Structure 1
Amino acid sequence: MSHTETATPTLPSEYLAFTLGKEEYGIDIQKVSEIRSYENPTRIASAPEFVKGVLNLRGIIVPIVDMRIRFALGTPDYGPFTVVIILNIGTRVVGMVVDAVSDVTTLTPEQIKAAPDMGSTLNTEHIVGLGTVEERMLILVDIDKLMSSEEMGLIERLAA
């Protein structure tokens, strides 16, 4: 292995691709526990709008975050392709509602570009980069950072 290869950051190469509105996103496949069809969660009083509630998943109470609401992408429409991606974030299990899951995509480091600096107009701290596969562009999300942000602290208190 040459010196340049060891200096290259080791990024996860497989991403689960999903859609929110017209955009396609990707998260590290290693964070995904399972994909379930959408079912209405039990609502929690005083929870933020993007926290749809909780589900009982084989005895584990799982907070459910609607990513379309979380990213302010308009009113969600729960259709036949709407799914809940169950994630393992540290010691927590969290579900995230997305419009649809498309596939698992393998990206080489050359296919991943840094997220553009949008200044104060857009918070990009949860974006790892942009992955390109032929004509597709995936917005790669650091799901650990996103789910462990200040809002996640609130979710942990709700689910406890």
Structure 2
Amino acid sequence: MNSPAHSPDTSANHWLSFRIGSQLYAAPLGAVNEVIRDGDITPVPGAAADVLGVRHLRGRIVPVLDGERRMGVAGAPSDPADVRVVMLAHAEHLVGLRVGAVGELLHSDGIEIEPPPPGRASRRDDPVTGVLNWQGGFVALLDVSRLCRLGGEAGHVA
């Protein structure tokens, strides 16, 4: 079990929460570049099933992942007005993640982060790194590099 209280970087204890399906997830605040409204996404033939396509963002072409497909969760009805794309940055990469709604800013200071539920660790590409008990439920904490499949795949994004 990792305790965020031992982290020298206090920004590592701040997370942006969002809903994907009926589950709450959170990404480290330091990896969140911005949150934008869902918009025009151009499909990419032959892309992975969880890649919705690409979109232009201030001169950059950014891949956008479908959060429900990427996380393997059943879709819960989302109000189209609440759907957002969370732009996540890792090194020089920028990847969008479509989510059902953006939640609140979480502070894990002094709260112990539990390991992922049993069975999740068997998935090599599982981006869930821990679980934070939050308001009678839990929030699955994400590793942006694994979420966007950036770790060790020769710059292969999404």
TM-score normalised to structure 2 length: 0.81
For 1:22 and 1:51, the matched residues in 2 are separated by 20
In 2: Cα distance, 1:100 partner to 1:133 partner: 17
One-letter amino acid of the structure 1 residue matched with residue 6 of structure 2: T
Change (3 A) 1:82 1:70: same
CA pair 70-9 structure 1, distance change in 2 beyond 3 A: same
Q: How many angstroms does 1:100 deviate by?
A: 0.5
Q: Answer yes or no: is the 8 Å Cα contact 1:85–1:96 preserved in 2.
A: yes
Q: How far does residue 76 in structure 1 lie from its aligned partner after superposition?
A: 7.5
> Partners of 1:135 and 1:119 in 2: how far apart?
21
Q: How many angstroms does 1:50 deviate by? A: 1.1
In structure 2, the gaps of 5 or more residues are none
Q: Structure 1 residues 47, 125: CA separation in 2 closer, same or farther (over 3 Å shift)?
A: closer
1:61 corresponds in structure 2 to 61
Cα 1:46–1:122, aligned 2, differ >3 Å: closer, same or farther?
A: closer
| Residue 6 (structure 2) pairs with residue 8 (structure 1) | yes
TM-score using structure 1 length: 0.80
Number of paired residues? 150
1:48-81: CA deviations, max 9, x gaps?
A: 2211111110100001111101122235866111
In structure 2, what is the Cα distance between the partners aligned to 1:132 and 1:90? 29
Match of 2:89 in 1: 88
CA distance in structure 1 between the partners assigned to 2:17 and 2:121 by the alignment: 27
Alpha-carbon distance in 2 for matches of 1:28, 1:120: 20
Letter in 2 for 1:129: G
Percent identity (aligned): 23
Change (3 A) 1:69 1:76: farther
**AA at the equivalent of 1:94:** V
Specify whether residues 140 and 46 from structure 1 end up closer, same or farther in structure 2 by C-alpha distance, changes over 3 A only: same
Distance in structure 2 (CA, Å) of the matches to 1:101 and 1:134: 16
Q: Which amino acid aligns with 2:22?
A: K
Q: Which runs of 5+ in 1 are unaligned?
A: 156-160
Question: What is the CA-CA distance between 1:9 and the residue it aligns to?
Answer: 4.5
Residue aligning to 1:135? 136
Contact 1:118–1:124, Cα closer than 8 Å, also in 2? no
Displacement of 1:120: 7.1
Whole-Å separation in 2 of the counterparts to 1:132 and 1:10: 22
